[in-house]
Amino acid sequence: MIHFAIKPLDRSLESALVHKINSLTKPKGSLGFLEELALQIGLIQHTLSPVFTNPTNVLFGGDHGVIYEGVSLSPKQVTYQQMAHFATGTAGVNFLCRQHGFNLVLVDAGVDAEFDPKLGILDRKVRRSTRNYLHEDAMTAEELEMAVERGAEVVRAIHADGCNVVSFGEMGSGNTSSSSIWMHVFGNIPLAECVGAGAGLDSAGIRHKLDVLTRALRRHDINELRANPLLTMAAYGGFEMVMAVGAMLQAAELKMTILLDGFIMSACLLAASQLYPEVKEYVVYGHVGDESGHKRMIEILGGRPVLNLGLRLGEGTGAICAYPIVASALHMINEMDTFVTGKVTKYFK
């Protein structure tokens, strides 16, 4: 498995950052969460004047073999269709990327189809779909390692192009099932509390989904899964999810700010943090959504979401929506006068 050199945040500038924030022409703490975000990003970038450059949303697509068990309202072909749709620039994620100045990078991690090269989708396919984990592991250890490395490779490329703030999205019919299993295993939460409607299942569909996942989990000892995150990822993951794990870990190593999206990307961060707990220090939690278990997972991760808009689209949309607020924290620390430069009497210690 590829090794990542992820270090805890260097806090040697923390006092100076706090002093600068508290010296701005405002009552102490009056800009609330923006002040916390400015401090975190200043620590990530190790500067008193943090800035964002070339924001990018990387969207990984992959199919899941378990889809044949009826765990998703969305049929398998939707993965291919939506990835091609993203490439046309007319989907949900596209208008948000345009609105907020994000580059969009589309990556075929394991879609069970081939894309026309003219679409501009990066071909990093490990395999055409994972296997059906009701009956066998979703991927081999070798395929897992390949997915992690390819996710990391994509991040290294956008970083080389000047990106220092990144969000990750996904497209993969059935991937809320894998996310529910990862949440159950890594979060030590009853599976029933992790399983939700996904793309729109009714109550009967949710019960069926829970039954399939319960039976799938019998193939491995739960204690072995909790002791071996790589086994859990390979047994029940998706290629787009494992690539996102590798991408998050590489972004943290490169000291990039990670804007976290929804339920599935939160499950990926939960998995990544089993391998390198320090990755969480580089994450800003974009939003909490309506998918069952998302709020619980953010609580496990110890995050504070920027937004609560009832979003559950995925694709990176919640993270991108949060970006202007996060960017406001940097405008605050860089553009506001201090009491000294603004010639305003500081009336508190």
Of 348, 155, 112, 347, nearest to 245 by C-alpha is 155
The residue written with tokens 């000047």 in the block is 162
Q: What is the CA radius of gyration of the chain?
A: 20
The alpha-helical segments, DSSP class H, found in the chain are 14-22, 32-45, 77-88, 92-100, 141-160, 175-187, 203-217, 222-227, 229-236, 239-253, 263-275, 294-301, 317-335
CB 254 within 8 A of CB 159: yes
Q: What is the DSSP letter of 199?
A: T
Amino acid letter, 44: I
193 is catalytic: no
What is the Cα–Cα distance from 197 to 190, expressed in whole angstroms?
A: 16
Q: φ, ψ for residue 196 (rounded to 5)?
A: -130, -165
- Which residue out of 145, 170, 240, 315 is catalytically annotated? 315
Q: φ, ψ for residue 123 (rounded to 5)?
A: -90, 100
What is the Cα–Cα distance from 324 to 96, expressed in whole angstroms?
A: 11
Q: What share of the chain is helix, strand, coil (3-state, %, to 5)?
A: 50, 10, 40
Catalytic positions, please? 315
